Amino acid sequence: MYNPDKTIKQSPLILGIESSCDETAAAVIRGRRLLSSEIISSATEQAKYGGVVPEIASRAHTDAVAEVVNRALTAAGVEIIELDAVAVTYGAGLLGALLVGLSFAKSLAYALNIPLIAVNHIRGHLAAAYLQDEALKPPFITLLASGGHTAILHTESYSGFNVLGGTCDDAAGEAFDKVARVLGLEYPGGVNVERLAKNGEGNIKFPPCLVKNSEKLQLSYSGLKTAVINYCHNAEQKGEKINPCDVACSFQHAAVDPLVKKTVESAKKLGAGTVTAGGGVIANGYLRETLATECEKAGLKLILPEKKYCTDNAAMIAAEGLIQYNLGNFADMSLNAKAQIPLK
Ligand code: KG4
Ligand code: ZN
């Protein structure tokens, strides 16, 4: 098995593997330079059921994992034998799904006698920004918004971050998905809400995603989600027609504007000059535009990963793998998958 006393390389060639939900992904980086990023998704299959069915996800990962790794190596123009480390998502996510990527990564690391690196999926989302700007260094503020988390973080060093605040109930992505369902849109919901919102007006007053009278940086999505559901159900009971584009647009304003405002306020308060972002909801075009405008107004530098590196991918897993590699944090063959990992 890999001996951790071996020299740490300057710009290691790292393979990242991700299989926590419905995307089987593999990517190769050399140092911070991204060489390839490949995804085989079972989202179309899952859409028939209106959400991710864990058993279907696990089976799809089993079918796709070797293929996606081969594609990533070929696209990067490297041989498997050249790899310096394998980074893999060990949690949080669907247990069966995680185990497919994890077992594959373990066998590769063992066979090649290279380090295995355990990556926390959420830290992967944060690390996507490092690929966007190779010069990015802590400290910075991050807006994290995914299907399971919504928080504003302060990364002080490569080894850790502080949670400045976040949602006390649902995550932003969950709210997008619930609103999509109420509007009869297909899974995955967020991007479909965004599509409708483009043709709508923000003329319906939904409660913003904030906790009333809270001193702390606290957000809440459950009230907003319920308000949208009630609005649609009330109209249906009265036999009135709703304008789904206006509902989507008004919801988007209520879900995004306070999030952006709080992120910028936090950066200003802490005197941080740089803001980054990560997670599936950061792929939202309206959020990206608003965040860019507000950061510019406040004189903050914004590092926004490309949309494809905000939603689940393996490039971000390789990027976080590099951070752990440089810190000398290697896993051994007893590494197990975890369905849940607390944010902090
Ligand atoms: O980060 P992610 O891909 O998976 C998790 O780790 O959770 O985030 C998925 C979430 C879903 O709730 C999805 O609806 C949302 O991100 N999402 C979006 C958009 N693209 C994905 N929400 C709003 N607008 C989008 N364009
Ligand atoms: Zn994710």
Tell me: the pLDDT tens digits for 311-335? Answer: 999 999 999 999 999 999 999 999 9
pTM for this structure?
0.96
Going by the DSSP 8-state scheme, the letter that residue 32 receives in this structure is T
- Please give the number of the atom of ligand 1 that sits closest to the Cα of 147: 7
HSE value, Cβ hemisphere, 13 Å, CA-based, for 156? 6
Q: Has residue 4 got a pLDDT over 70?
A: no
* Average pLDDT of the chain, as a whole number: 95
How much distance in Å is there from the Cα of 234 to the middle of ligand 2?
34
Give the pLDDT score at 1. Answer: 59
* CA 71 – CA 65 distance, rounded (Å): 10
Percent of the chain with pLDDT over 90: 90
In this structure, of 19-28, 38-47, 91-100, the range with the lowest mean pLDDT score is 38-47
Region 21-43: mean pLDDT is 96
Checking if the pLDDT of 6 tops 70, the result is no
Nearest CA to 193 out of 281, 263, 265 is that of: 281
pLDDT at 50 (0 to 100)? 84
Nearest CA to ligand 1 atom 21: 280
Q: Which of 1-15, 25-39, 184-198 has the lowest mean pLDDT?
A: 1-15
Stated length of the chain: 344
Instruction: Provide the token pair at 336.
Output: 């197990």
Q: What pLDDT score does 34 carry?
A: 98
pLDDT bucket at 214, cuts 50 / 70 / 90:
confident
- What count of other Cβ atoms lies within 10 Å of the Cβ of residue 4? 11
User: What is the best residue among 42, 281, 306 to mutate for testing ligand 1's pocket, by most ligand atoms within 8 Å of CB?
Assistant: 281
Ligand 1 pocket at CB < 6 A: 125, 146-148, 173, 176-177, 188-191, 194, 279-281, 283-284, 311-312
Residue 187 is predicted with a pLDDT of: 84
Q: In the prediction, which pLDDT does 46 show?
A: 87
Find the Cα–Cα–Cα–Cα dihedral 142, 342, 194, 251, rounded to 10°.
-100
Which amino acid, 171?
Answer: A
Which ligand places an atom closest to the C-alpha of 51? 1
Q: Does position 99 have pLDDT exceeding 90, yes or no?
A: yes
Report which secondary-structure segment, H or E, holds 158: none
Distance 279 CA to ligand 2 centre (A): 6
Give Cβ neighbours of residue 79 (< 8 Å, ≥ 6 apart).
73
In the reported structure, the alpha carbon of residue 148 is separated from the centroid of ligand 1 by a whole-number distance in angstroms of: 9
Q: Which atom of ligand 1 is nearest to the CA of 149?
A: 7
Ligand 1 mean position, distance from CA 82 (Å): 34
Residue 41 pLDDT > 80: yes
Contact between 344 and 163 (Cβ < 8 Å): yes
Predicted pLDDT at 44: 87
Average pLDDT over residues 223-233: 97
* pLDDT at residue 3 greater than cutoff 70: no
What are the backbone angles phi and psi of residue 167, rounded to the nearest 5°?
Answer: -75, 145
> If 0-12 CB within 10 Å is exposed, 13-18 middle and 19+ buried, where does residue 224 land?
buried
Spacing, Cα 6 to ligand 2 middle (Å): 32
The gap from C-alpha 303 to its chain's centroid, in whole angstroms, comes to 15
Helix (H) or strand (E) holding 133, with range, is: none
